[in-house]
Amino acid sequence: MKTFKVIGLMSGTSLDGLDLTYCHFTRTLDRWAYRITKTQSISYSKSMKDKLKNSIYLSADELLTFNNTYGQWLGEQVKSFIKTNALEVDFIASHGHTTHHQPENGLTYQIGSGQHLANACKHKVVCDFRTNDVALGGQGAPLVPIGDRLLFGEYDFCLNLGGISNISFEKDGQRIAYDIGLANMILNYITQKIDLNYDKGGQLAESGSVNQKMLDALNALDYYKLPFPKSTGFEWFEDKVVPIVDATDESIENLLHTSIHHLCEQIALQVKSNTTKQKSNLLVTGGGALNDFLIATLKTKLGEAVDVIVPSQELIENKEALVFALMGVLRIEREINVLCSVTGAKRDSSSGVVYLPN
Ligand SMILES: Nc1ncnc2c1ncn2[C@@H]1O[C@H](COP(=O)(O)OP(=O)(O)OP(=O)(O)O)[C@@H](O)[C@H]1O
Ligand SMILES: CC(=O)N[C@H]1[C@@H]2OC[C@@H](O2)[C@@H](O)[C@@H]1O[C@H](C)C(=O)O
């Protein structure tokens, strides 16, 4: 039995930091098994956070330079993670950080130069998992559903609550997945108005109440009417969501409370319209799974027909990096790691670019 020892790297849209997830994968016949052995989460400094957030406004020169320096920085973090924990590593699988995502214009871009990363940590690197799918006419996102299928097949639905919410499930023998819409991106935007990174446990949100006008405006966003395949990101948030929040003269508590009702209503709509069983189960990961008020609201909106499963904090925080590590394994093995049933591309693909250290 072959074992793959991989470090997955993920930097998500909520901009809280870099997740390093060291995992072992084994395959017996057609079944993959995983074990997460060591994890580290490195919070971004205020200046790194601001730079990543504003990278969409950089000039071409500045962005290319940032791609290199961020790749170098990733490599240095990997190097010290390996050294501190004395890890034996086959290769690194890096998502990088999305600075641009406009699949409708044929572009998606994740910074974190693979060559700089490989040279800095002296290991083989697989990265740039999204470009090929967009070149094949797909959304280039979400990509984690391949991992949902191969590693988390016992769940009817996998829901991730990061900056953006996305869902994945099997329908008629095909994996279907898409970004539902808002999650922590709107919640963090609101708490940052009072210099708070996020609303721990959803305590502020819980003490608020619904502003019906804001709830209706959010629920009426055009994105929700689009059929899948679809994906979204910061550009949509800034363009369509921020104006609604900013036009609402309400307390932080009420803004948060309303946003949570909104995002849970959208999730419940998607789950209910795709449930074929009397009783189904839904795995929730991503930082939103640690927001107690959000989870309680979601349970209420879903009702008893859906079991909401909140796993260990380790899995909540590392599932995306774990799946990118698996995608790296599949790329190295030249197997399919991006599903066109999810992204709408012309065909499935084995995506990712491999860099050798120099
Ligand atoms: N204890 C907690 N209570 C409430 N919210 C929390 C808690 N811990 C984390 N969060 C929220 O989760 C966010 C981080 O989520 P996560 O790391 O899953 O996002 P991401 O991977 O950056 O996003 P994406 O998956 O969209 O790319 C934080 O910014 C915060 O809003
Ligand atoms: C372009 C991009 O980086 N998209 C992210 C983002 O964050 C959540 C959602 O939007 C999802 O589409 C995707 O990430 C996860 C890891 C994915 O590809 O499955």
Q: What is the pLDDT of residue 226?
A: 96
Task: Tell which residue, 100, 77, 79, 74, has the closest CA to residue 89.
Answer: 79
Cα–Cα distance, 239 to 11 (Å, whole number): 22
How far apart are the CA of 4 and the centre of ligand 2, in A?
A: 24
Q: What is the pLDDT of residue 16?
A: 87
Average pLDDT, the chain: 96
- Nearest Cα residue to atom 9 of ligand 1: 287
Give the architecture (CATH level 2) of 145-315.
Answer: 2-Layer Sandwich (3.30)
**Preceding peptide of 142 cis, ω within 30°:** yes
DSSP state of 227: P
Q: Tell me how far the alpha carbon of residue 322 is from its chain's centroid.
A: 11
Strands (E) across the chain are located at 3-11, 17-28, 31-43, 91-102, 107-111, 125-127, 157-161, 164-171, 174-182, 280-285, 306-309, 353-355
Residue type, 99: T
How many residues would you count in the chain? 358
Q: Is the CB of 8 under 6 A from ligand 2?
A: no
Q: Is the CB of 202 under 6 A from ligand 2?
A: no
Q: What is the pLDDT of residue 212?
A: 98
Q: What is the pLDDT of residue 251?
A: 98
Taking 3-state DSSP, the helix, strand and coil percentages for the chain, each rounded to the nearest 5, stand at 45, 25, 30
Q: What is the pLDDT of residue 173?
A: 92
Question: Which atom in ligand 2 lies closest to the alpha carbon of residue 12?
Answer: 7
Q: Is the CB of 108 under 6 A from ligand 2?
A: yes
Cα–Cα distance, 304 to 301 (Å, whole number): 9
What parts of the chain have a pLDDT lower than 70?
none
Q: What is the pLDDT of residue 240?
A: 98
- Nearest Cα residue to atom 14 of ligand 2: 142
DSSP string, 16-85: -EEEEEEEEEEEETTEEEEEEEEEEEEEPPHHHHHHHHTGGGS-HHHHHHHHHHHHHHHHHHHHHHHHHH
User: In this structure, is the dihedral angle defined by the CA atoms of residues 262, 267, 268 and 270, taken in order, positive or negative?
Assistant: positive
The strands making up 157-161's β-sheet, listed across from edge to edge, are 174-182, 164-171, 157-161, 280-285, 306-309
Q: Residue 201: left (phi > 0), alpha (psi -120 to 50), or beta?
A: left
Name every protein residue with a CB atom under 6 angstroms from any ligand 1 atom: 12-14, 16, 160, 162-164, 184, 187-188, 198-202, 286-288, 290-291, 320
Question: Which atom in ligand 1 lies closest to the alpha carbon of residue 19?
Answer: 17
Cα-based torsion angle of the residue sequence 239, 129, 316, 25 in order, rounded to the nearest 10 degrees: 180
Question: Which atom in ligand 1 lies closest to the alpha carbon of residue 13?
Answer: 27
How far apart are the CA of 308 and the centre of ligand 1, in A?
A: 18
Cα–Cα distance, 128 to 197 (Å, whole number): 29
Q: Which ligand approaches the C-alpha of residue 143 most closely? A: 2
- Nearest Cα residue to atom 25 of ligand 1: 162
- Nearest Cα residue to atom 11 of ligand 2: 142
Provide, rounded to the nearest whole percent, the portion of the chain with pLDDT above 90: 96
Same topology between domain 3-136+351-355 and domain 145-315: yes
Q: Which ligand approaches the C-alpha of residue 111 most closely? A: 2
Q: What is the pLDDT of residue 48?
A: 95
> Is residue 8 within 8 Å of 34, Cβ to Cβ?
no
How far apart are the CA of 141 and the centre of ligand 2, in A?
A: 6
Q: What is the pLDDT of residue 13?
A: 87
230-287, pLDDT tens digit by residue?
A: 999 999 999 999 999 999 999 999 999 999 999 999 999 999 999 989 999 999 999 9
Q: Which ligand approaches the C-alpha of residue 161 most closely? A: 1
Enumerate the domain spans of the chain. Answer: 3-136+351-355, 145-315
How far apart are the CA of 158 and the centre of ligand 2, in A?
A: 14
Cα-based torsion angle of the residue sequence 327, 330, 331, 336 in order, rounded to the nearest 10 degrees: -100
DSSP string, 186-206: HHHHHHGGGT-S--GGGHHHH
Please tell me the CATH superfamily of domain 3-136+351-355, with its number. Answer: ATPase, nucleotide binding domain (3.30.420.40)
Task: Tell which residue, 96, 97, 95, 100, has the closest CA to residue 60.
Answer: 100
